[in-house]
Amino acid sequence: MPRNRLWLPPLALLAILYVVWPWLGGSPFLVNLITGGVIWGIFAVSYDLVLGWTGEISFGHALWFGAGIYGVALLVQATHIDTMLAILIVAAITAPLSFLVHIISLRLRGAYFAMITFAIAEFAYLLVQNATALTGGTNGLTGIMLSPYFLDPNFLYAIPAALLLIFVLGLRAIGRSRSGRIVHAVRDNPTRAALFGHNEVLVKGITLSASSALAAIAGGLYLAYQGMAFPDAMSSNTGFMVLLMVVIGGADSIWGPAVAGIGLYLLENSLTSTTAHWSLWLGVVYVLVVRFLPNGLGGLGPRRLWAPRGQTAILHEGAGQSRTKVRESNLE
């Protein structure tokens, strides 16, 4: 076996253990807690496509998370179909709907794009709160008949855990492909990319629609986890929390936001049970990461960990220049 593939068997074993560990004796409380963290990890990975891949900041990403929650809840209530099938159907519907919304929103740039996404999400949030007959209003929707396998805590963990692993590996592979390099090149230099025939609005619109579909999958899984649909899942607090996860995880990586999503969810739930000032401690974590890990958790690596402090920026700059050259060559 080639030396560069010697790490595949142990990583495959770790991946299997990561999915099946609840059957190896995990406590029900811990399994339940980490399940929520894994689902938020999927949500954070979906937002990494927004911030890391397109370079845009959206304050309305919680809209698609909430669309997954309410879409699956209403579909299951109306048709009594399999819950996982309902999640996939809602994600498939969310993608083209998101594409249309973002094609319009991308006519604006920077802060204007962020504000219009925030306005659309807030409108949907208020609509869900006031459409009492359909959504249950502020009381949400309860009594949703989920598929039996989602009632088993071990399977409820294993399904999102396997999906998170698939999404991280799949997006990592796509990011290294020609399509991924085109997306990154459009982000870095849209004018140069346009010279090679790549439409910025179209490329970003497709990427953002994929991001929204992943967020809807996370929302559907969160419905199965909570057992109810509630409007707070679409609030601005949810959108800002997932933004914080990606910043801490590092927008230039896929695994960083996934780890940060799990970690921050566990940290928040631990702090809320011990102190009323949990948001203050989350702020402290954010400040420490920005100060000592400006590239987030994804910026950690053997070269950066052991390089002298003055050489870290040089390594980062050199890697960025190399990536830019590769993207430009793949556009030609």
For 38-53, how does the pLDDT look when each residue is reduced to its tens digit (9 = 90+)? 999 999 999 999 999 9
* Average pLDDT across the chain, whole number: 85
Assess whether pLDDT exceeds 50 at residue 320.
no
pLDDT (average), residues 296-324: 50
pLDDT (average), residues 315-332: 46
Lowest-confidence pick of 121-135, 163-177, 318-332: 318-332
| Eight-class DSSP state of 59 | S
> Between 286 and 117, where is the model more confident?
117
For residue 32, give both structure tokens. 């339940």
Assess whether pLDDT exceeds 90 at residue 220.
yes
Model confidence at 287, pLDDT cuts 50, 70, 90, reads: confident
The reported pTM is: 0.87
Assess whether pLDDT exceeds 80 at residue 117.
yes
Residues 6+ apart with CB under 8 A from 196: 331, 332
Residue 138 has a pLDDT of 87
pLDDT in tens, 227-270: 999 998 898 889 999 999 999 998 888 899 999 999 999 888 88
Distance CA(235)–CA(226), nearest Å, equals 17
Domain layout of the chain by residue ranges: 6-236
Residue 305 has a pLDDT of 43
Residue 13 has a pLDDT of 85
Distance CA(209)–CA(225), nearest Å, equals 24
Distance CA(104)–CA(295), nearest Å, equals 31
Distance CA(269)–CA(234), nearest Å, equals 19
Assess whether pLDDT exceeds 90 at residue 163.
yes
3-state helix, strand, coil split of the chain in percent (to 5) is: 80, 0, 20
Model confidence at 2, pLDDT cuts 50, 70, 90, reads: low
Distance CA(32)–CA(266), nearest Å, equals 11
Model confidence at 302, pLDDT cuts 50, 70, 90, reads: very low
At 73, the amino acid letter reads: A
pLDDT (average), residues 309-328: 44
Assess whether pLDDT exceeds 70 at residue 310.
no
> Between 302 and 161, where is the model more confident?
161
Residue 91 has a pLDDT of 97
Distance CA(65)–CA(62), nearest Å, equals 5
Model confidence at 3, pLDDT cuts 50, 70, 90, reads: low
| Eight-class DSSP state of 53 | I
Assess whether pLDDT exceeds 70 at residue 8.
yes
Residue 183 has a pLDDT of 94
Residues 6+ apart with CB under 8 A from 22: 31, 153, 154, 157, 158
- CA 213 vs CA 44, 74, 152, 204: distances in Å: 13, 17, 25, 14
